[in-house]
A and B are shown apart, each in its own frame.
Chain A
Amino acid sequence: MCQKVYDIVAGVVSILKGLGVTGKNMFRKAVTIEYPFEKPAMTARFRGLVDLHPEQCIACSQCVKICPTAALQLEATTNPETRKKFPGVFTYNEELCCFCGLCQEVCPTAAIYLNQCYEVAYYRHDDLVKIDLLKADKYVHLAPPKVKELRP
């Protein structure tokens, strides 16, 4: 009998404790990020898509050589007056890229780097395999959209 009463009391106490825990959480702020409307910033060393500062590039081809998946293609051109090399064609194949960051590590002028973009989907395959790194607007479509416009 005593055990029964004790069990009932312990049961009621545990129910109240449980209700206390859920009740406390009810008034906490939600941790949800409303993703398509709200885009979280990545950490500083996040390895996103390969990007280039074309004016810093000296077309030394080190990144092309170290790339384990041969995702980069570079054709160097020489300036006839200054005799300096610069990239004539520099394309990047996102499909092959494994985001290892070796190109960024090996670059002597810090021209090639991995940016913060994480929405790496394209509508057409051709766009994905041949990204022209010399074009300034190559990743414009990946820029975060204006939050207010997307919200219904």
Chain B
Amino acid sequence: MNIPWLALLSLLLKGVAILAFFAVNAMFLIWLERKISAKIQNRLGPMVVGPHGALQLIADTVKLLLKENIVPAEADRLIWWLAPFFVAVPTVAAFLCIPFSQEWIVADLNVGILFICSITSLCVLGVFMAGWGSNNKYSLLGGMRSAAQIVSYEVPLLLSVLVVIMEAGTLSMQGIVHAQELGWFCLKPNVLLAFLIYMISATAEVNRVPFDIPEAESELVSGYHTEYSGMKFSMFFLAEYANLFIISAVAATLFLGGWLGPLRPSVFWFLIKVYGIISFLMWIRWTLPRVRMDQMMSFAWKVLTPLALINVLVTGWLLAGKG
């Protein structure tokens, strides 16, 4: 039997590389978040472990790994155990189609953006499972809120992505980057509006302030992951930050030209754009208060969705006018 060992090995290496990036990136983002919040509040943030607290997260990870895994009484065991995987696995899978550079992409699917959007939608299932399985009213409320929020913000999100797809004429992530070689998409006014809608809905998608009502510390303890501890909690935590990276990477690819940049296009430009967007989202997080649930839902359905629909319509007219 002829087994393609080399191809298998390369696949395995790519998988390991993605998992390593998943973990290291999340750790870096948590450190960055703590540092930015400290800067905004005139504090120093973690300083003791490693230079400027850079190794703090390694200490925290070791602590989380060693912690006890507590199962709440009368929890729905199977659902409770599966939930963290339903959140973490789609997040890792979404990394498959992120174009880090011309060569650095695991699989340039011809439906790349569709794949990312659909697989990250699975996360909401995990979140709701966690809320239901915990047998805790706070978790259940958090899970319900999260489901409502993610499902409604997915509509304007996808409509704004649709504008880019119409402009680029392709669903492949590399194809979208190549379509921007003459100029980034965000320089066109209709795509700029789509960018704005995308950023707002993406912030809601990953449950970040000002749309963090599923987690709302002051109301729901910690929302759907209140009852989780140890490694299961850290899976939620890592997935949260990995999701932040994914929405920023998609935003950079769709609107800001991905790995294209002055001088030589490379992974460097891509990472600069992604971490720039992430820093901006963190800046927003430590500035704005949380919005109310009904305000948030009405904003999604009454403002963002019509705006995105009109935007799609206008883009269609413009493209039809061009021939």
Q: Which residues of A contact B (CB under 8 A)?
A: 8, 15, 18-19, 21-23, 25-32, 34, 152
Contacts and interface: CB of A to CB of B under 8 A. Distances in A.
Contacts of A19: 283-284, 287
B7 to A, nearest CB: 47
Contacts of B47: 34
B287 A30 contact: no
Q: Is the interface of B mostly helix, strand, loop or mixed?
A: loop
The 7 tightest CB contacts between A and B, nearest first, are A22-B287, A32-B44, A26-B39, A18-B287, A22-B40, A30-B44, A31-B42
Contacts of B322: none
A28 B44 contact: no
A34 B44 contact: yes
Contacts of A29: 42
Interface residues of B, number: 17
A23 B40 CA distance: 7
B41 interface: yes
B237 interface: no
26 contacts: A15-B288, A18-B287, A19-B283, A19-B284, A19-B287, A22-B40, A22-B283, A22-B287, A25-B40, A25-B41, A25-B42, A26-B39, A26-B40, A27-B39, A28-B42, A29-B42, A30-B38, A30-B39, A30-B42, A30-B43, A31-B42, A31-B43, A32-B42, A34-B44, A152-B48, A152-B49
Interface in B273-288: 283-284, 286-288
A22 B39 CA distance: 9
Contacts of A32: 42-44
A34 B53 CA distance: 13
A30 B52 CA distance: 13
